[in-house]
Amino acid sequence: MIEFGIITVSDTRTEETDKSGKYLQDKLTSLGNKFVTKYIVKDDAKEILMAYNKLIDTNCELILVNGGTGIAVRDVTIETLEPQFVKLIPGFGEYFRRISFDEIGTRALASGATAGITATDQLCYLLPGSTNACQTALEKVILPDLDHLIKEITK
């Protein structure tokens, strides 16, 4: 069992309309993992960082951030959170874009999806806001190696 938290970054999503956050929560809990909390924040560096700092002060082993990873001016998730990581996992973003290319073509190249390790030894993924992209990332990349990566971080 893994404890996890979610941050949804969007100027428009609410608890009722957050399909990606709900998908991530439902999928992980259906596999026996423990949901800790979720924050829905605006595309604003200060709000994103505040939610992130709250989650790194929990027992979460996994933090999933969805939204704000594209190329729009308002998309600031990557620029805000990547500098917080003590170690990057560049292979995640590379592979995610590769398999997304098969699904959506060259549009996948605009994704800044990435992952890293927090200062408190949590695994953190920065995902696009689309539910389809979250499903691809979780089912094809994150879940197959999740237990292994968490063990590697804490050994």
Average pLDDT of the residues in 78-99: 96
| DSSP-derived 3-state class of residue 125 | strand
Q: Which residues contact 41 (CB under 8 A, 6 or more apart)?
A: 7, 8, 9, 47, 48, 50, 51
Hunting for tokens 């709900």 — which residue is that? Answer: 22
- List the CATH number of the domain containing 78: 3.40.980.10
Rounded CA separation 67/7 (Å): 9
Residue 155 has what pLDDT? 80
| Backbone phi, psi, residue 97, to 5° | -65, -35
What domain count does the chain have? Answer: 1
Burial level of 154, CB count in 10 A (0-12/13-18/19+)?
exposed
Q: Residue 154: which pLDDT band, with cuts at 50, 70 and 90?
A: confident
Listed in order, strand segments (DSSP E) in 1-155 are 3-9, 34-41, 62-66, 87-88, 114-117, 123-127
Q: Do residues 63 and 118 make contact, with C-beta atoms less than 8 angstroms apart?
A: yes
Residue 108's pLDDT band (cuts 50, 70, 90): confident
The range of the structural domain enclosing residue 121 comes to 3-154
Rounded-to-integer distance, Cα 107 and Cα 103, Å:
9
Phi and psi at residue 89, in whole multiples of 5°?
-120, 80
Residue 14 has pLDDT above 90, yes or no: yes
- Encode pLDDT of 27-78 as tens digits: 999 999 999 999 999 999 999 999 999 999 999 999 999 999 989 999 999 9
Quote the DSSP letter at residue 107: G
Please compute the mean of the pLDDT values over residues 90-116 and round it to a whole number: 93
